Amino acid sequence: MNRREFLFGAAAVGAAGCGSIVAEDAVRPGVATDVRSEGEGIKVRFLGSGAAGWKAEWAAKNPNRRRPSSVLLDGRVLIDFIESAFDTLPEGCRPEVLFQTHSHGDHYRPLAAVKSGVKRMYVQETWASAARAEIAEAAKKLSLPSPEVIALPFGQTVEECGMKFTGVPANHSTSRVTDGVLERTSLYLVEKGSTRLLYATDTSGIPGDAARMIGIDPHITEANWKNFHKTPFVHEPKPITALVMEATDADLDEDFRMFVHSSVQTVSRTVNMLLANGRYAPPAGQHVYLTHLGLKYRDWPSDKIDAILPKPLHAAHDGLEIVLG
């Protein structure tokens, strides 16, 4: 039985814990390593770093072709997961929990979710009932245990595997209606010790409501916090320390997708604004990682992209594993 068959089979359901740190240059030779000591940091493995449209047969022709975006955190928690991500899971990995950003097919596949063996799956409350039905159907089809599907309202924090997860609004649309309600899509703030990682895909920038829930809205300061501290879903001013954000293409300024996706320029401007206002405070030298790379950049190796990216932006690639502080 090969590794892919093992991961897709019933044996994939069981114990937890996933692998060890793998240096970036061990995954793709010639690219500088950026692995930091773990401590209170969050270990991030990019199972996929591209936008929609990946096909397995393309990978054989172009090893730089990125799979749809997905990450594994601390070897135990997934954010988004489809079939292509099985190829980049560490050997023997048993993820425990899955957080979904939204229901588009390059992020969410019920059969893959069940095959992954996760015990719990979180989705935004607006499409939770549909997800429960789809996951139950997939589990029945595969004759595998069905993970519990949990509705996660915006602004609510849950703790899983030693990390805190808060779902906040994304600026993206699926046009999916469940029980008469339009689906809302999610970004995730992930906290562990002093690390505050914002995972932001798919989204056009960072919505104002999300910024307030996270604590990075520059309009809310230490001086005026007393006016907001009893307001629901408004977090006290507190910087993020790490950022993973989508950059679907080099420039979306004249593309309709600017309404639902970010460009390199969007990410760069966001980072510069947050730095200037003290709302982004990373460890010295830490990159901002770009994911969901599509169109122009989908087939480029990371070092080629990095050569034209403004600092501190860095292109992630499939299999990249780092620790963000």
Average pLDDT of span 182-200 = 97
DSSP conformation letters of 43-58: EEEEEE-B-S---HHH
Query: Rounded to whole angstroms, how far apart are CA atoms 167 and 37?
Result: 27
Instruction: Give the predicted TM-score (pTM) of the model.
Output: 0.88
Q: Is residue 45 part of a domain?
A: yes
Query: Are 266 and 204 contacting, i.e. CB atoms less than 8 angstroms apart?
Result: yes
State the alpha helices, DSSP H only, in the chain: 3-8, 24-27, 56-61, 110-116, 128-142, 208-214, 264-276, 302-306
Q: Is residue 35 part of a domain?
A: no
Q: Is residue 33 part of a domain?
A: no
What is the total count of domains within the chain? 1
Query: Are 188 and 97 contacting, i.e. CB atoms less than 8 angstroms apart?
Result: no
β-pairing, 77-79 vs 288-291, is: unpaired
Q: Is residue 20 part of a domain?
A: no
Q: Within the chain, how many helices (H) and strands (E) appear?
A: 8, 16
Q: Is residue 31 part of a domain?
A: no
- pLDDT recorded at residue 300: 87
Q: Is residue 199 part of a domain?
A: yes
- CATH code of residue 284: 3.60.15.10
Band the pLDDT of 251: cuts 50, 70, 90.
low
Predicted confidence (pLDDT) per residue in 99-143, tens digit = 999 999 999 999 999 999 999 999 999 999 999 999 999 999 999
- pLDDT recorded at residue 259: 77
In this predicted structure, the answer to whether residue 24 has a pLDDT above a threshold of 70 is: no
| 315: Cα separation from own chain's centroid | 14
Predicted confidence (pLDDT) per residue in 169-179, tens digit = 999 989 899 99
CA angle centred on 119, ends 148 and 15, rounded to 5°: 165
Signed CA dihedral, 115, 198, 266, 304: sign only: negative
Task: Map tokens 């469940």 to a residue.
Answer: 178
SS3 200: strand
Band the pLDDT of 64: cuts 50, 70, 90.
confident
Predicted confidence (pLDDT) per residue in 260-313, tens digit = 789 999 999 999 999 999 999 999 999 999 999 987 887 889 999 999 999 999
Q: What is the mean pLDDT of the chain?
A: 86
Q: Is residue 242 part of a domain?
A: yes
Terminal CA-CA length for the chain: 38
Q: Is residue 18 part of a domain?
A: no
Q: Greatest CA span in the chain, whole angstroms?
A: 62
- Domain containing residue 63: 3-11+41-324
